[in-house]
Amino acid sequence: MLKGKQSILFDDAPYIISSGSVVGKKEGEGPLGQLFDLVEEENLFGKDTWEEAESEMQKEACLMALGKAKLDPHEVRYLFGGDLLRQGIATSMGLEELHIPLFGLYGACSTSGEALALSSMSVAAGYGEYILAVTSSHFGSAEKEFRFPLAYANQRPPSSQWTVTGSGAFLVGRKKANVRIAGVTVGKIVDYGLKDSQNMGACMAPAACDTIIQNLSDFGYKSSDYDRIITGDLGYVGQSILFDLMRKQGKDIKENHMDCGMLIFDQQTQGTNAGGSGCGCAAVTLSSFILPKISTGEWKRVLFVPTGALMSTVSFNEGQSVPGIAHGIVLEHC
């Protein structure tokens, strides 16, 4: 069951039974706009603050995933959730009403991978028939948390990324479905010493490379054994660094690599610079775009690799570097 140094191959692989994606207006206008379950025209989602709006999105995404599976919240054993905000407040406030025992997570933008890893590990171990994994991010709350007041209208360098307003929830369980989580590769912190918080892609690419290489080694796969290797939010800058780093390890993944941060916005028309980012980016792209392709069998096996940049305003102000982390989830058609 243990594979190599960092991975688990499930003997009895759990399934992604259903999922829900809730996004904001800009995401709804992007290339994946028609695929999301719910596009809210108003980014406050009827609430008074960005944080409450993000909480509301998480709750709606969970209820959407549960609704598709015709389940009530009380039938879910545990919930793994997280967001980007200090003290994970969007998760605490949003999920309270569901009354599901909660494991709060923090893995920056890699959190959807962390949540799926722990959910599938728990289901495979028999710790629950149904377990929910949810993550979210919100452009408004993230700018407030990490950068400048929106009204200040600061300039954004070309390497900067646009935080996705969105939440994706995944119901993982034993009930047969068309997508299974065959295994996971848990990532290590990888620090190349970069300190530019406006260039997250560069900070995260080494971690993505490390996890992909480890996954291939642990499972004994070639990169071509995956129909797609899909990172979370490296964006255009991070992707080119990832290709360089992989090439140095003798691997070429240009043919089958995609990045959720590059898929979710139209860089040319939406002014999103290097691409989308945030906990919600990989989650809503998985729910709306990736899972349906695996479900129909168009893709047989996908390595989903959400990537996170581990920093805070405090660590940044104190001159610390921005290490990255990435978790790999092996998704298979069945």
**Tokens matching residue 53:** 């709006």
User: DSSP characters for 96-126?
Assistant: GGGT--EEEE--GGGHHHHHHHHHHHHHHTT
Identity of the amino acid at 241: I
Pick between residue 28 and residue 82 the one whose CB is nearest to a second copy. 82
Pick between residue 238 and residue 323 the one whose CB is nearest to a second copy. 323
φ and ψ at residue 123, rounded to 5 degrees: -65, -45
| 3-class state of residue 326 by DSSP | strand
Identity of the amino acid at 5: K
Least separation in angstroms between CB 92 and a second copy: 4
Q: How many CB atoms lie within 10 A of CB 42?
A: 10
Pick between residue 49 and residue 224 the one whose CB is nearest to a second copy. 49
Least separation in angstroms between CB 15 and a second copy: 18
Pick between residue 84 and residue 291 the one whose CB is nearest to a second copy. 84
Least separation in angstroms between CB 96 and a second copy: 4
Least separation in angstroms between CB 50 and a second copy: 9
Q: How far is residue 225's CA from residue 42's CA, in Å, rounded to a whole number?
A: 42
Distances (CA, A) of 207 to 43, 83, 162, 213, 255: 32, 19, 20, 10, 20
**Which element (helix H / strand E) includes 89?**
helix 89-95
Least separation in angstroms between CB 150 and a second copy: 15
**Tell me, what DSSP letter sits at residue 334?**
-
Distances (CA, A) of 309 to 1, 187, 194, 206, 239: 29, 12, 11, 11, 15
Least separation in angstroms between CB 243 and a second copy: 24
**Which residues, 6 or more positions from 234, have their beta carbon under 8 angstroms from its beta carbon?**
201, 204, 205, 208, 241, 242, 259, 261, 262, 275, 307
Pick between residue 107 and residue 275 the one whose CB is nearest to a second copy. 107
Pick between residue 269 and residue 313 the one whose CB is nearest to a second copy. 313
Q: How far is CA 123 from the centre of its chain?
A: 20
Pick between residue 36 and residue 106 the one whose CB is nearest to a second copy. 106
CB contact at 8 A, 36 and 280: no
Least separation in angstroms between CB 321 and a second copy: 9
**Tell me, what DSSP letter sits at residue 299?**
S
Pick between residue 229 and residue 279 the one whose CB is nearest to a second copy. 279
In 3-state terms the chain splits into helix, strand, coil percentages (rounded to 5) of 40, 25, 35
Pick between residue 117 and residue 234 the one whose CB is nearest to a second copy. 117
Least separation in angstroms between CB 311 and a second copy: 7
**Tell me, what DSSP letter sits at residue 188?**
P
Where does this chain bind a second copy (CB under 8 A)? 1-2, 6, 8, 48-49, 51-52, 77-78, 82, 84-89, 92-93, 95-96, 99-108, 114, 117-118, 121-122, 124-128, 144-145, 186-189, 191, 310-315, 318, 320, 323, 325
Least separation in angstroms between CB 329 and a second copy: 14
